[in-house]
Amino acid sequence: MTLAYDSMEIYEQCFISPSSASATHFSLPLTFFDLIWLRFHPVERIFFYPLPLPHSNPSFFFHKVLPNLKTSLSSTLQHFPPLAGKIIWPSHSGKPFIQFNPGDGVLLVLAQCNDDAKFNHSLDNSPRDASESRSLVPHLESSDSHASVMSLQITFFPNKGFSIGINSHHAVLDGKSSTMFIKAWAYACKSCEDESLNPELEPLFDRDLIKDPTGLETAIINTWAKMASQIDPSDTSNGRSLKIMSLPTQENLVRATFDLKRGDLEKIKKRVLSKWELVGEETVSGFSKPTTLSTFVACCAYVSVCIAKATHEAKNGDKFCLAFTADCRARLEPPIPENYFGNCVASHIVDTEPHDFIKEDGMVVVAMRIWSKTKMLEKGLTEGIDTVIPRFAAMLRKGFKGIGVSGSNRFGVYETDFGWGKPAKVEITSIDRGLTIGLAETKEEKGGVEVGLALNKHVMDLFQEIFYEGLCMD
């Protein structure tokens, strides 16, 4: 069936199953790292690929590019069977789990956009209507009884290129696992490999690596049940619903991308360290002043302060908080392999005062607090992680403007080549569901960070002014 709306035409919706005829029943437990995200909104990302004219004409695309993408997706799912399955929660089970049965598959939407300007516009970093990207990302099914793990959409732009939109359930994949899958798919497509993957792309499903001596799984399940009844008093699922509590997309937002070059980041780091003793103690939470700061700390401090200043309204006495996730693979004791598939990230709220973000030296204060929190992870990695989401939600109810962080400059998303070149643009579409900083590495320069934002048009104008003005300061 062909559906058309605006300049988009959806001409096929199909399910792609693992190609191996021997694909068998597969189930996978959810750890406490996974359960934290059980009903959290999914992560949506779009990869944009320009194609040269001979490859971007409809005949070549539909007879060469698209078949390769579909065949390689099927072969890749042999290695990632959970992605073709569903999250279920049978009455006999104390917690939900992932189940794949033969015949299950990933929903793949195939579409065509006949608006040439839309593709070019999507590659531009300047502000554009945030809702433009929505038609390039497929829906992810969820209900009380089950939730799909992943859905994909390939959209062809005649004589321009194509995009791949990925919608993934956060309770199954963190950013590293999602990126590993998309890179494995690209590897299979480019190399025409049906069976083998590079070792670093081969997922490890061993759940015994994640220990839960303090009963975090039970605590998190109980927390979700409590939150469900608070949000919807009519909920009769007794906390066992798997329906995603998806925040609505914000209205009247524009989406834009900003580059923090390596030189910009070094300037920010030096500025923070030069004022370390002036705005605080030489030690923060028992740690001595560092000799340098990470790119993550510098970037998040600078961007979050720019956001706070742009959104701040003095008459309302705005208060701000910042939450971020930290990859725990290398931090666990003992460490677990980098190719562990599933969630292995912990969320934390930065210990800032509500008005630190808009102080004269707010960037320095916030950077110090982010750095301090990352250092404290070395002592208590999982401490309090079962309460982070309800605490963050409670702060929002109290009038705090919560700033989140999605993605990472370490994922290497711009290295994802399906055989027709690297992506010209990668965006985290789901940042428009909250005040969220989307991170990726810069395309052109090693060591830089690409920052994606979706803000009100007026706020975006102020943010741009504050952002670039701050980078010009000595």
Check 194, 259, 361, 417 and give the catalytic one. 417
> At which residue do the structure tokens 């300061």 appear?
473
| φ/ψ of residue 29, rounded to 5 | -70, 160
The token pair at 16 is 């792609």
Amino acid at 305: V
The token pair at 145 is 């009884």
Check 41, 170, 312, 348 and give the catalytic one. 170
Contact between 271 and 364 under an 8 Å Cβ cutoff? The reply is: yes
Contact between 26 and 99 under an 8 Å Cβ cutoff? The reply is: yes
Gap between the Cα atoms of 371 and 367, Å rounded:
6
Q: Which residues pair with 451 in a beta bridge?
A: 258, 439
Strands (E), 142-274: 146-148, 150-157, 161-168, 253-260
Q: What is the DSSP letter of 339?
A: T
Tell me the torsion sign for CA atoms 247, 251, 257, 260.
negative
Active site residue 318: no
Active site residue 417: yes
Task: Provide CB contacts within 8 A for 51, sequence distance 6+.
Answer: 61, 65, 160, 161, 162, 420, 421
**CA-based nearest residue to 350, from 318, 367, 328, 373:** 373
Question: How many CA atoms lie within 13 Å of 135's alpha carbon, on the beta-carbon side?
Answer: 21
Active-site residue list: 170, 417
